[in-house]
């Protein structure tokens, strides 16, 4: 009845919209980071076919055999291990950011801030910390990736693939990794906006509680 309508009304507020955007952006960041570190790469030898075949990019590439095949496999594995820490850290952050906004949404639907207005100040503090922490987190993410791409392992891997005419193995950021940057910046803006709306909501609730007769 009326209680249900009041709870659903929160989903139409500015804070709820910001929190929904935060969830969507976190999901996109999680996808981008999983693409960055989701494939181990590597070559698998198929002696019966007389070559080394790669399935990393959805097709079967031949052309490596013997020492070149073993070197390609080693370089792929080392390159993957170099990228793994930054990819896992990004996925952990993305997963946490995906879960966190759901708590304020649930709290708002249950109208807990009306009973406990201090929650809005806590939410404002957390949103501000996340927004400010997003900038150094993005810097560390890209700095780590660029360090991997500038490593001797990546350069040797790129040269080996180019010697066989394969494209797409260059030492540079790919689209999913680049896309994580602007999405993270937009997420930081959304958290700052959510923090400001939480402060405004706290003031409104405090003023209403000071005038119970008018309510």
Q: pLDDT digits over 73-114, tens only?
A: 888 889 989 998 998 899 999 999 999 988 988 888 888 888
Q: 51 with 62: CB under 8 angstroms?
A: yes
Using CA atoms, how far apart are residues 25 and 190, in angstroms rounded to an integer?
A: 10
Nearest 5°: the CA angle 24, 27, 40 is 160
Q: 155 with 171: CB under 8 angstroms?
A: yes
pLDDT band at 36 (very low <50, low <70, confident <90, very high): confident
pLDDT for 39 equals 52
For tokens 């055999």, name the residue: 65
pLDDT at 134 over 90: yes
pLDDT band at 147 (very low <50, low <70, confident <90, very high): very high
Using CA atoms, how far apart are residues 136 and 157, in angstroms rounded to an integer?
A: 30
pTM to 2 decimal places: 0.78
Q: pLDDT digits over 46-77, tens only?
A: 443 444 444 444 344 456 667 777 888 888 88
Strands 51-54 and 61-64: antiparallel
143's tokens: 């700095």
In the chain the first and final C-alpha atoms are separated, in Å, by 20
Q: 22 with 97: CB under 8 angstroms?
A: yes
Q: pLDDT digits over 180-210, tens only?
A: 899 999 999 999 999 999 999 898 888 887 7
Strands 61-64 and 44-46: unpaired
156's tokens: 């040797």
**Buried b or exposed e, range 146-176, using 16+ CB within 10 angstroms:** eebbeeebbebbbebbeeeebeebebebeee
């Amino acid at each position: 009845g009326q209680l249900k309508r009041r709870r659903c009304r929160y989903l139409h507020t500015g804070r709820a919209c910001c929190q929904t955007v935060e969830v969507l952006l976190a999901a996109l960041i999680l996808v981008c980071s999983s693409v960055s570190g989701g494939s181990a790469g590597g070559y698998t030898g198929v002696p019966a076919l007389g070559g080394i075949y790669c399935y990393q990019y959805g097709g079967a590439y031949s052309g490596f055999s013997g020492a070149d095949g073993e070197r390609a496999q080693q370089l792929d594995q080392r390159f993957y291990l170099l990228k793994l820490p930054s990819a896992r850290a990004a996925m952990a952050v993305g997963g946490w950011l995906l879960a966190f906004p759901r708590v304020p949404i649930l709290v708002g639907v249950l109208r807990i801030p009306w009973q406990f207005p201090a929650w809005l100040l806590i939410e404002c503090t957390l949103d501000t910390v996340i927004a400010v922490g997003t900038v150094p987190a993005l810097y560390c993410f890209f700095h780590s990736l660029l360090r991997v791409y500038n490593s001797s392992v990546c350069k040797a891997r790129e040269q080996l693939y180019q010697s066989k005419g394969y494209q797409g193995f260059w030492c540079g950021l790919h689209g999913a990794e680049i896309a994580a940057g602007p999405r993270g910046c937009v997420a930081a803006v959304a958290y700052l906006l959510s923090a400001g709306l939480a402060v405004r909501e706290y003031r409104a609730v405090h003023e209403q509680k000071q005038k119970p007769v008018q309510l």
